[in-house]
Amino acid sequence: MIAFVSGGARSGKSRHAEGLARQWQAAGGGELVYLATARAADAEMAARIARHRRERGAGWHTLEVPLALDSALAEVGVGNTVLLDCLTLWSSQWLYAGGGREAEGEALLARVIEVARARDIALVVVSNDLNEDIPPTDAETWRYLAFLQRLHRQLAREADRVIEVVAGMALEWKAIDRQPSGERDVETRR
């Protein structure tokens, strides 16, 4: 199962995504893994990370992965539940800190989706909706927005569930009725 959860700033998207991940983990078993893309580059960012960690509560195994999401996911145990927060930050780090190219970034996301499917990982991805603002006035911002939106469209196309969060409420954009991944595991574990 793959879910794509997005919304505006402070819309409650992380909270909703965490709830969904817990729900999937409760149904399917396995560990709760948090793929954190944020690096504490300054005090504000460190406080933000600490707040997110506090709000998430206990029970999460945290992996800090600023760039190599695909190889990090390949290390996650089969049948676990993974929360990736957030794709927006990853995309800017990929282009500007990692020096990555757009096409390679899209290929990396494709591998993430592929690994999640192959390893029966329930994956919840959080991102920010940034494309409904006034159009950018410079070419670089356009390039970034185009890249982020290609990732978002790719994810929305592949995901089983696509959820928009507005003021803490979830709007369902796509819901494919699929057996929770863990339920099939229950059969094999018996």
Asked whether position 135 contacts other proteins by CB under 8 A, the answer is: yes
Asked whether position 143 contacts other proteins by CB under 8 A, the answer is: no
Asked whether position 94 contacts other proteins by CB under 8 A, the answer is: no
Minimum gap (Å) between residue 155 Cβ and other proteins: 7
Asked whether position 157 contacts other proteins by CB under 8 A, the answer is: yes
Distance (Å, whole) CA 186 – CA 190: 6
Asked whether position 152 contacts other proteins by CB under 8 A, the answer is: yes
52 assigned to active site: yes
Tokens found for residue 134:
């006034």
Tokens found for residue 181:
């991944």
Asked whether position 129 contacts other proteins by CB under 8 A, the answer is: yes
Asked whether position 174 contacts other proteins by CB under 8 A, the answer is: yes
Catalytic residue among 16, 52, 61, 152: 52
Minimum gap (Å) between residue 158 Cβ and other proteins: 10
* Closest C-alpha among 66, 156, 154, 58 to residue 111: 154
Query: Which stretch in 4-12, 21-29, 112-120, 181-189 sits in contact with other proteins by CB under 8 A?
Result: 4-12
Asked whether position 134 contacts other proteins by CB under 8 A, the answer is: yes
Minimum gap (Å) between residue 129 Cβ and other proteins: 7
Binding site for other proteins (CB under 8 A): 4, 6, 8, 129, 131-135, 145-146, 149-150, 152-153, 155-157, 162, 164, 173-174
